[in-house]
């Protein structure tokens, strides 16, 4: 009777690949979310500085949106750190 032990390592490798793919997906979503939030915050900062040139009144929403830049930076850094982490066996 021949017993093959290839199914166990193969299953472990598939599980490891699945967890690595899930980690990559989560980290890339975090990176893109961080980039988007940073871009919104940066655009809001630019609008905040440009408004006095045209003597317009600015809504308080732009000041709150400007806080998205540091939040986006933190989320992007977390995503980059998560994507750079190795999967240990």
> Pick from 30, 29, 22, 28: which is nearest to 75 by CA?
30
- Give yes or no for a contact between 77 and 63, defined as CB atoms under 8 angstroms apart: no
How does pLDDT run across 34-81, given as a tens digit for each residue?
Answer: 999 999 999 999 998 888 888 888 888 888 999 999 999 999 999 999
- Cβ burial, residue 36 (10 Å; 0-12/13-18/19+): middle
Counting every residue written for the chain, the total comes to 89
Distances (CA, A) of 43 to 33, 58, 65, 68, 79: 15, 14, 9, 10, 22
Query: Is the pLDDT score of 89 beyond 80?
Result: no
pTM of the model: 0.67
Would you state the pLDDT for residue 78?
94
- DSSP code, position 86: P
How far is Cα 70 from Cα 49, in angstroms, rounded to an integer?
17
């Amino acid at each position: 009777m021949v017993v093959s032990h290839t199914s166990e390592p193969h299953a472990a490798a598939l599980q490891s690949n699945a967890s690595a793919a899930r980690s990559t997906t989560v980290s890339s979503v975090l990176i893109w979310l961080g980039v988007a939030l940073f871009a919104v915050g940066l655009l809001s900062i630019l609008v905040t500085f440009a408004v006095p040139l045209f003597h317009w009144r600015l809504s308080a929403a732009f000041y709150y949106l400007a806080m998205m830049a540091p939040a986006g930076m933190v989320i992007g850094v977390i995503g980059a750190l998560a994507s750079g982490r190795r999967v240990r066996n």
